[in-house]
Structure formats: C-alpha cells, structure tokens
Amino acid sequence: MQRQYRTLLDDARRFSLSIAKTVQIQREFAGHLAHVGQQQPELTGEFACNAELQKAATTNGEKLLCVFEAFCGGLNTLVNQTFEDTMLTIRNMNVARVEFDAYRKEAESIRVTSKKSNQSDAVIQRRLDEAVTRFQISEENFLDMKAAVDVKIRLLHENRVRVMQHNLSLLNNAMSAYFSGDVDKLDLTLRQFNVKIMSPHTVTSRWSKKQPNRSDSLDHPSQPISAPKSPAKNADLSGISNGSRSTLH
C-alpha cells in the first residue's frame, strides 16, 4: 500500500511540473502577444484580447499549483512519515519476536538437556532460572510490541482515510473548476480547503526547481501498479504475526 501511495505522489509531482511549465510558457506568450500588439495598431485589439486571456489562464494555473502543493504535502507526510513510523514499529516487533523465539528455545533446551547432565541440581536450576527469566522478559517485550503494532495500524488506517478524503475532494473540486474555466468555483475551493496562496513568482519557481523523487523522468512515466497477490503483501504488513502467549511446562 505504501508503494501505491508513493507512486501517486510521484505522479502528482510530475503532473505539477507539467502545469508549472505550461504556466511559465503562458506567461511568456501573454507578454509577447501584448508586445507585438503594441507594434501593430491594426491588430492591437485582437492581440490585447488574446494576451488578457493568457494572463487569466496563467493566474488560474498558479492557483492550481497551490492546490497541488497542498495535495502533495499531505500525501508526502502520509507516505514518508505515517507509513514509515508504522513500518518501523513492525520491524521492531519482528526483532522482538526473534528474540522471544530464541530465548524460548534456549529455556526448553536447558530443561531437556539438564536431565542428562552430570552437573549438580543447584547449577542446573540456576541456569534454568536465568534462561526462564530471559524468556519471560523477551515474551513481555514481544507482546508489548505486538500491541503497539495493532494500535499503529489502526491509527494509520484512520489517518489515511481522513487525509485522502480531504486531499481527493480538494483535487477533484479544483481540477473540475480549472478545466471548466470556473474561476469563482476555483477561488471558493481554495478558501474552503484553506489552501495557502503563494505569490505567482514563488509558486512557479518552486515547482520549476522540483524533480520527481524516483528515477522516472517526465518521458518515462511509472509503470502501472500490478494487482497484489495477497492482502498482506498489498499492505506491506506481512511482518505481522498473530502470536500468542507461550508457556513453558
């Protein structure tokens, strides 16, 4: 799942770069139209009309870039912080599980082999007690980590749904308003979703300097995501084990 969201983030960034380049070209085009119109009086009206149209399109494009800034920001936090924090907890749980299994086997081995040993009962009992203590500590640590993973996964699900509902609604409203030429709806969307408005120079220069995180270039879009073979693999949470409290007899 993290891989899928990372692909969405990369695609959104590439799309934003494309829009930023278009806005930059539109701004230059508007300036050239206005300049040529001033030098050709017989076509001044026509050139001026087209120049104003390109200026308006540039302004709307800059607003759309502000939307993508907000969209990519939320998605980046989800991918590189929320998912990563959950996966780190899962990795720690797997380490604790390995230690738990190792100490459990050690205690069982000492218990079995001690029956055949020539050592005194006191020495055997001391070794067994130490092994059982290590086992119990590792068991508690594993169970604590397993509980932490359960909490992190629940919070990840809730946060993912909340963030994506907000971001996808923002993107849908903004894109539909932009491509339909509905300036009022575009402005309303920015206000409703509290999108930070940046200056025209800031928004275009910021995106023009950005590059996709992955090795893909604009000419080599990422490959489609193949269907997952199993739910566990799809969620990248295959390290989770149900586990149960073990006891030594």
Q: Is 224 exposed, middle or buried (0-12, 13-18, 19+ CB in 10 A)?
A: exposed
Closest by alpha carbon to 202, among 89, 65, 49?
Answer: 65
Closest by alpha carbon to 89, among 245, 236, 208, 224?
Answer: 236
Contact 36, 47 (CB under 8 A): yes
Distance CA 49, CA 67 (A): 28
Q: Which residue in the block uniquely carries the two structure tokens 């119109």?
A: 37
Q: Is the pLDDT of residue 232 over 50?
A: no
Contact 75, 12 (CB under 8 A): yes
| Backbone φ, ψ for residue 162 (5° rounding) | -65, -50
Which pLDDT tens digit goes with each residue over 50-93?
A: 999 999 999 999 999 999 999 999 999 999 999 999 999 999 99
Q: Is the pLDDT of residue 214 over 60?
A: no
Question: Could you count the other beta carbons within 10 Å of the beta carbon of residue 238?
Answer: 12
Percent pLDDT > 90 in the chain is 67
More confident residue, 70 or 114: 70
Q: How confident is the model at residue 169 (pLDDT cuts 50, 70, 90)?
A: very high
Distance CA 49, CA 229 (A): 56
Entry pTM: 0.72
SS3 246: coil
Residue-level pLDDT at 208: 61
Q: Is the pLDDT of residue 119 over 90?
A: no
Q: Is the pLDDT of residue 244 over 70?
A: no
Q: Is the pLDDT of residue 222 over 50?
A: no
> Would you kindly state where each structural domain of the chain is located, as residue ranges?
1-197
Stretch among 37-51, 103-117, 127-141 having the lowest mean pLDDT: 103-117
Which pLDDT tens digit goes with each residue over 188-204?
A: 999 999 998 887 767 66
**Token representation of residue 160:** 């993912």
- The CATH class for the domain spanning 1-197 reads mainly alpha
Contact 170, 70 (CB under 8 A): yes
